[in-house]
Amino acid sequence: MNKSKCKVGSNLRVLLEAINEVPYGTAFIEDGNNKLVGIVTDGDFRRLLLNGKGLEDLLLQEDLGDFVSAKEGENFDELLKKTNNKINIIPIVNSSNELIDYFEFKHKTKFTPVAEPTLENKELEYLLDAFSSTWISSRGKYIDRFEEEFSEFCNVKHGVATSNGTVAIHLALVALGIGPGDEVIVPDLTFAATINAVLYANATPVIVDIDPITWTIFPEEIEKAITSKTKAIIPVHVYGQACEMDKIMDIAQKHNLKVIEDCAEAHGAEFKGQRVGSFGDIATFSFFANKIITTGEGGMCVTNSKELDTTMRKLRDHGMSKEKRYWHDDIGFNYRMTNLQAAIGCAQLEKIEWILDRNDQIEKDYIKHLDHLNLFQWQKTYRQNRKVVWLMSCTTDKREQVMARLTSNNIDVRPFFYCLSEMPVYSKYLFSNKNALIISKIGLNLPTVKDIDYKRIASILSDL
Ligand SMILES: Cc1ncc(COP(=O)(O)O)c(C=O)c1O
């Protein structure tokens, strides 16, 4: 510590050597009587140079600003409070104001994840209730309740809970009888689960382009991609935006196609006043931890058809006959959700409107604080639709710079999905992808979590 002491009246070269001697980049300044009269950090030193001082100039009392110090004997909490979340070094002096020690605290900027579950209210209570009931596998009151309440939320009659959103799509495809030789139309901009489920069913995916404005599947392209083998369309309400379901349902009716809505990213979104999930033959949801509501891992198929509901329940449970235990009519799967997951889901569902409103407010706050930077084109909202905010989705020509800046400041951001058609495992299924290729490369998702420091984000990006 002695090496980092420096006297008023020394020249700046000596001061610089003192600052340079210690890893914490700070010199303690004493007067002729060894009393502490100031501190100079490497930042303060830069400012002295910028103010016109040279290395041979002397450090004067008036060059020293206010500083925070502590008295011998102050405890950790008092010292921590004095750092005020920004000061790293606090000198400690004795009763004669002589430096005897210093307190060092490194402030880390908090990591801001791109999404996080809100589990504060009833989640633990219901989870413990399910746990104590000993119904911890796939039977129990929370399963029935979650299926009932979630399908009601979607304005659909039946819900079949599954172990995740990917198997929900697969279950829907199999229940609709889609298999080898059948073509299924999927959008190019989606998470891989959509196309993987088609491949699990041994059907052939056909990748079509998206609308450049909504980023959802382009109805005109669906129509062009239809062949005699086409059996189904999977519109994906990507990033909270409802697909143009009126046009899609008209096309499906005209060509006698099944529709499975992939609603994994759009719980509560509406198209012309109607909830997503209630248009197609079956709709699927995901309750992964980053989704609008979560069960940890989890998913659900919803449908208005009693017959499809029965088929999916059976297929979800190994294809076992409901009447004759251990008798299997079909080769089914174990795609069941546990009562523990459903317990969390019930609690999440109680606050889904609150989550959606909070996310809407987050979107407004981003626009308020970042719009003036002219860096972002925000996801569009259509008046007759209810877009839900899952992540804060936008496009920007400076995506790589924005991502690098935010990531290095401990703020998690996500680029849009790669186009399915760009990946060698899927590229052979391409029908059209002109718009998707562009949007996928400029699309970006910003965090939608509590306590976002919008002003800090704005200042981090201000000179881009
Ligand atoms: C569009 C889309 N479909 C399907 C899934 C699959 O859901 P899960 O992760 O629950 O299997 C996801 C999410 O991850 C998704 O974003």
3-state secondary structure 320-362: ECCCCCCCECCCCCECCCCHHHHHHHHHHHHCHHHHHHHHHHH
Q: What pLDDT, on the 0 to 100 scale, is given for residue 85?
A: 66
Cβ neighbours for 323, distance < 8 A, ≥ 6 positions apart: none
Residue 246 alpha carbon to ligand 1 centre in Å: 24
Among candidates 117, 115, 116, 121, which has minimal Cα distance to 347? 121
Q: Where are the beta strands (DSSP E) in 163-289?
A: 183-187, 204-208, 230-233, 258-262, 270-271, 274-275, 282-286
Q: What is the pLDDT of residues 126-176, one digit of tens each?
A: 999 999 999 999 999 999 999 999 999 999 999 999 999 999 999 999 999
Task: Evaluate if residue 402 carries a pLDDT over 70.
Answer: yes
At the top level of CATH, the class of 123-350 is: alpha beta
In angstroms, how far is CA 25 from the centroid of its own chain? 37
Q: Which of 239, 260, 286, 335 gets mutated to test ligand 1 (max ligand atoms within 8 A of its CB)?
A: 286
Specify whether the CB–CB gap between 179 and 373 falls below 8 A: no
Among candidates 349, 420, 337, which has minimal Cα distance to 171? 337
Specify whether the CB–CB gap between 339 and 143 falls below 8 A: yes
Q: Across the strands, what pairs with 159?
A: 302
Q: What is the pLDDT of residues 227-277, one digit of tens each?
A: 999 999 999 999 999 999 999 999 999 999 999 999 999 999 999 999 999
Q: What is the pLDDT of residues 75-99, one digit of tens each?
A: 888 888 888 767 888 999 999 999 9
Measured from the CA of 298, which atom of ligand 1 is nearest?
10
Residue 322 alpha carbon to ligand 1 centre in Å: 29
Give the H or E element holding residue 446.
strand 443-446
Closest residue to atom 8 of ligand 1, CA basis: 165
How far from 422 is each of 104, 350, 384, 393, 433, CA to CA, in Å? 50, 40, 33, 21, 9
Specify whether the CB–CB gap between 171 and 286 falls below 8 A: no
Measured from the CA of 197, which atom of ligand 1 is nearest?
4
Among candidates 231, 190, 193, which has minimal Cα distance to 208? 190
Residue 268 alpha carbon to ligand 1 centre in Å: 16
Label residue 105 by pLDDT band (50, 70, 90). confident
Label residue 107 by pLDDT band (50, 70, 90). low
Closest residue to atom 10 of ligand 1, CA basis: 165
Specify whether the CB–CB gap between 175 and 312 falls below 8 A: yes
Flag whether the pTM goes above 0.85.
no
Among candidates 441, 440, 442, which has minimal Cα distance to 188? 440
Q: What is the pLDDT of residues 27-42, one digit of tens each?
A: 999 999 999 999 999 8
The domains of the chain are located at: 2-104, 123-350, 353-461
Task: Evaluate if residue 343 carries a pLDDT over 90.
Answer: yes
Mean pLDDT, range 429-443, rounded to an integer = 98
**What is the homologous superfamily of the domain 353-461 according to CATH?**
Aspartate Aminotransferase, domain 1 (3.90.1150.10)
d(C-alpha 139, C-alpha 141), whole Å: 7
Q: What pLDDT, on the 0 to 100 scale, is given for residue 57?
A: 95
Residue 313 alpha carbon to ligand 1 centre in Å: 20
Measured from the CA of 190, which atom of ligand 1 is nearest?
1
The residue type at 451: D
Q: Which of 288, 290, 297, 333 gets mutated to test ligand 1 (max ligand atoms within 8 A of its CB)?
A: 288
d(C-alpha 187, C-alpha 211), whole Å: 10
Q: Which of 163, 261, 265 gets mutated to test ligand 1 (max ligand atoms within 8 A of its CB)?
A: 265
Measured from the CA of 287, which atom of ligand 1 is nearest?
10
Closest residue to atom 12 of ligand 1, CA basis: 264
The DSSP letter of residue 372 is G
Residue 227 alpha carbon to ligand 1 centre in Å: 27
Residue 262 alpha carbon to ligand 1 centre in Å: 8
Q: What is the pLDDT of residues 451-463, one digit of tens each?
A: 899 999 999 999 8
Residue 25's φ and ψ, nearest 5 degrees, are 60, 40
At the top level of CATH, the class of 2-104 is: alpha beta
Q: What is the pLDDT of residues 184-219, one digit of tens each?
A: 999 999 999 999 999 999 999 999 999 999 999 999
Residue 169 alpha carbon to ligand 1 centre in Å: 9
- Residues with CB under 6 Å of ligand 1 are 164-166, 190-191, 193-194, 236, 262, 264-265, 286, 288, 299
d(C-alpha 335, C-alpha 424), whole Å: 29
User: What is the residue-averaged pLDDT of the chain?
Assistant: 95
Among candidates 352, 359, 386, which has minimal Cα distance to 278? 386
Please say whether the dihedral angle defined by the alpha carbons of residues 247, 250, 254 and 258, taken in this order, is positive or negative.
positive
Q: What pLDDT, on the 0 to 100 scale, is given for residue 353?
A: 97
Residue 22 alpha carbon to ligand 1 centre in Å: 51
